[in-house]
């Protein structure tokens, strides 16, 4: 087996997503890297262990060069010789500004469409070691975050949208992540691989080309191992960010929540309780992993201003422009992040579906509710709640979207109650509330939590009723919490 083939095969087999794949989309531009990838994958497909794979080729014609149409025809002919399924499209209206970013967006929308059509598991691109170094150094030069310094990853899942707005989440795989451009060119020459040169790759008025042709060669004169060293550093940053993000996710239910009315609510005391470094890091993770779709560009000064606003105990009401039509509004212990025209608000509809675990949902009247893994609920959280209920969820329920619903009580609602002998009987909620001598206006505000069978598992908030407190048993796996927030 040829050397490059052995290296690529070993790299691919280190990724479980590759071993489980059935349909792979190859992103083929026509350059030397993607045409070598096309040949290698077809060679690999001939091996008995991989002859079950269905290879799909996707070519996006950017229409930015006169020769691109002829290249598209030639690529189609080459793909036909391999016998692969082939999809191609062209950029209908190429952008005049910010061309590289907009071309990438259009290209990946097309890839998402192909993935959705073919039900593919994997999207494979031909990014190589030189691409890794160029991207890393470019981002370092212009300034970026730790997340940005992760650079080009070898194997990861990515949420993508096609032109119609349908989403897919394939695994992106880059088998050449540790292979240099020179190795790919040597392979192409040895096996007479046809490929097409883009003359713009040699024009130094493009920043990437200056790094490619001038800066990186100069640095490699200082250390020929530069490319491999940068890959190692990038992988260490990826590992570090993965750990930090996982730690953030464990604490996120205590730090913030997303309202069903499309705004974010940050709980200031929880952030202030963090060590300084975690406060800084978790707020940046929030911007980059949660707020990125609404506020796609932010800077260090903006995050610093938000931190300062959250730390300012003297002014309980403040406002900060975030850009892109979004604003942060401080109200005592909370910061709402929402579209500027919406104004501060809360939300509670007739029937709210609690589909996510470990997530606070904002309700009307300054309250919030959520279902959390029992080990994440501290005694202080439960004590501060106006109501809670212990739940027992199966493993299947934990992995699937939940179907608990929080709604206003309705006439005819009944709840199951156990007496001292363990006998279960049903009693109308209305009668229970009358027995508690609640005024009619308060009875009308009572909410119930129902499971997928529409059976009531919590009734509240009723401060002096056992129905607003769940039993504490060793079978409890999750806890429903309901609490008031300060306005």
41 and 181 housed in the same domain: yes
Report the binding-site residues for ATP: 29-34
The confidence band for 296, taking pLDDT boundaries of 50, 70 and 90, is confident
166 and 54 housed in the same domain: yes
34 and 135 housed in the same domain: yes
Neighbours of 89 (CB within 10 A): 17
The confidence band for 376, taking pLDDT boundaries of 50, 70 and 90, is confident
pLDDT, tens digit, for every residue of 223-278?
A: 999 999 999 999 999 999 999 999 999 999 889 887 656 788 898 989 999 999 99
Distance CA 442, CA 233 (A): 60
Q: Determine the pLDDT at residue 381.
A: 84
pTM as predicted: 0.69
Q: Determine the pLDDT at residue 468.
A: 41
Range of weakest confidence among 17-31, 201-215, 364-378: 364-378
Distance CA 196, CA 157 (A): 30
Residue 122 lies in a domain: yes
Range of the domain at 407: 352-484
Residue 235 lies in a domain: no
Phi-psi map region of 119: left, alpha, beta (phi>0 left; psi -120 to 50 alpha): left
pLDDT, tens digit, for every residue of 268-289?
A: 989 999 999 999 999 999 999 9
Nearest partner of 15 among 156, 143, 123, judged by Cα? 156
Q: Determine the pLDDT at residue 261.
A: 63
The confidence band for 342, taking pLDDT boundaries of 50, 70 and 90, is low
186 and 269 housed in the same domain: no
Q: In the chain, how many domains are there? A: 3
Range of weakest confidence among 30-34, 59-63, 372-376, 394-398: 394-398
Reply yes or no on whether the pLDDT at 10 is more than 90: yes
327 and 441 housed in the same domain: no
- Which domain CATH number covers 63? 3.40.50.620
Q: Determine the pLDDT at residue 464.
A: 40
**DSSP β-bridge partners for residue 336:** 265, 329
Reply yes or no on whether the pLDDT at 413 is more than 60: yes
Q: Cβ neighbours of residue 52 under 8 Å, at least 6 residues apart?
A: 22
pLDDT, tens digit, for every residue of 353-365?
A: 787 788 888 776 6
Structure tokens of 312? 């300012």
296 and 429 housed in the same domain: no
The confidence band for 401, taking pLDDT boundaries of 50, 70 and 90, is low
Over residues 50-75, the mean pLDDT reads: 93
Reply yes or no on whether the pLDDT at 6 is more than 50: yes
Contact 254, 270 (CB under 8 A): yes
335 and 257 housed in the same domain: yes
Structure tokens of 284? 């940046």
Over residues 93-107, the mean pLDDT reads: 81
Q: Determine the pLDDT at residue 414.
A: 86
Residue 470 lies in a domain: yes
459 and 324 housed in the same domain: no
174 and 42 housed in the same domain: yes
281 and 311 housed in the same domain: yes
The confidence band for 341, taking pLDDT boundaries of 50, 70 and 90, is confident
- Which domain CATH number covers 253? 3.30.465.60
Residue 237 lies in a domain: no
Q: Determine the pLDDT at residue 141.
A: 94
21 and 168 housed in the same domain: yes
The confidence band for 393, taking pLDDT boundaries of 50, 70 and 90, is confident
Structure tokens of 13? 């087999």
Range of weakest confidence among 1-15, 365-379, 438-452: 438-452
92 and 199 housed in the same domain: yes
Distance CA 240, CA 48 (A): 38
Report the binding-site residues: 29-34
Residue 234 lies in a domain: no
**DSSP β-bridge partners for residue 5:** none
Q: Of 59 and 66, which is predicted with more confidence?
A: 59
Q: Determine the pLDDT at residue 399.
A: 65
Residue 53 lies in a domain: yes
Using H for helix, E for strand and C for coil, what is the string for the chain?
CCHHHHHHHHHHCCCHHHHHCCEEEEECCCCHHHHHHHHHHHHHHCCHHHCCCEEEEEEEECCCCCCHHHHHHHHHHHHHHHCCEEEEEECCCCCCCCHHHHHHHHHHHHHHHHHHHHCCCEEECCCCHHHHHHHHHHHHHHCCCCCHHHCCCCEEECCEECCCCCEECCEEECCCCCCCHHHHHHHHHHCCCCCCCCHHHHCCCCHHHHHHHHHHHHHHHHCCCHHHHHHHHHHHHHHHHHHHHHHHHHHHHHHEEECCCCCEEEEHHHHHCCCHHHHHHHHHHHHHHHCCCCCCCCCHHHHHHHHHHHHCCCCCEEEEEEECCEEEEEECCEEEEEEHHHCCCCCCCCEEEECCECCCEEECCCEEEEEEEHHHCCHHHHHHCCEEEEECCCHHHHHCCCCEEEEECCCCCEEEEECCCCCEEEEEHHHHHHHCCCCHHHHCCCEEEECCCCCEEEEECCCCCHHHECCCCCCCCEEEEEEECCC
Residue 344 lies in a domain: no
Phi-psi map region of 165: left, alpha, beta (phi>0 left; psi -120 to 50 alpha): left
Residue 346 lies in a domain: no
Structure tokens of 298? 């932010």
């Amino acid at each position: 087996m040829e050397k490059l083939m052995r290296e690529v095969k070993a790299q691919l087999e280190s990724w479980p997503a590759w071993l489980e794949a059935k349909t792979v989309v190859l992103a083929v531009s026509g350059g030397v890297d993607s045409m070598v990838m096309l040949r290698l994958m077809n060679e690999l497909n001939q091996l008995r262990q991989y002859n079950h794979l269905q290879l799909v080729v996707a070519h996006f014609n950017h229409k930015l060069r006169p020769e691109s149409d002829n290249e598209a025809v030639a690529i189609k002919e080459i793909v036909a010789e391999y016998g692969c399924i082939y999809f191609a499209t062209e950029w209908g209206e190429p952008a005049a500004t910010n061309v590289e970013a907009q071309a990438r967006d259009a290209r990946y929308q097309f890839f998402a469409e192909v993935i959705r059509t073919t039900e593919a598991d994997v999207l494979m691109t031909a990014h190589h070691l030189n691409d890794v170094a160029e991207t890393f150094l470019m981002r370092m030069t212009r300034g970026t975050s730790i997340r940005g310094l992760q650079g080009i990853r070898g194997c990861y899942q990515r949420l993508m949208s096609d032109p119609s707005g349908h989403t897919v989440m394939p695994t992106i795989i880059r088998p050449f992540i540790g292979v240099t451009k020179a190795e790919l060119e040597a392979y192409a020459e040895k096996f007479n691989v046809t490929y097409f040169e883009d003359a713009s790759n040699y024009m130094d008025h493009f920043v990437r080309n200056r790094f490619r042709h001038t800066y990186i060669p100069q640095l490699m004169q200082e250390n020929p191992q530069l490319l491999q060293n940068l890959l190692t550093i990038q992988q260490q940053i990826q590992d570090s960010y993965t750990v930090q993000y996982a730690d953030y996710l464990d604490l996120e239910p205590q730090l913030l929540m997303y309202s069903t009315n499309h705004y974010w609510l940050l709980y200031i005391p929880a952030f202030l309780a963090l060590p300084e470094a975690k406060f800084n890091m978790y707020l940046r993770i929030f911007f980059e992993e949660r707020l990125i779709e609404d506020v796609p560009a932010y800077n260090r000064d903006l995050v610093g201003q938000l931190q300062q606003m959250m730390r300012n105990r003297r002014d309980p009401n403040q406002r900060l422009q975030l850009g892109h039509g979004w604003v942060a509004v401080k109200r005592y212990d909370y910061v709402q992040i929402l579209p500027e025209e919406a104004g501060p608000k809360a939300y509670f509809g007739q029937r709210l579906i609690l589909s996510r675990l470990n997530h606070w949902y904002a309700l009307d009247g300054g309250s919030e509710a959520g279902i959390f893994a029992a080990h994440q609920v501290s005694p202080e959280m439960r004590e501060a709640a106006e109501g809670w209920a212990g739940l027992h969820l199966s493993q299947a329920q934990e992995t699937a979207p939940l179907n608990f619903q929080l709604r206003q009580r309705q006439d005819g609602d009944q709840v199951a109650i156990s007496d001292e002998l363990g006998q279960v009987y049903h009693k109308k909620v209305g009668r229970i509330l009358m027995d508690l001598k609640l005024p009619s206006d308060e009875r009308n505000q009572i909410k119930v939590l129902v499971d997928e069978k529409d059976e009531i598992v919590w009734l509240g908030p009723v401060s002096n009723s056992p129905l607003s407190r769940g039993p504490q048993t060793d079978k409890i796996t999750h806890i429903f919490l309901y609490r008031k927030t300060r306005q």
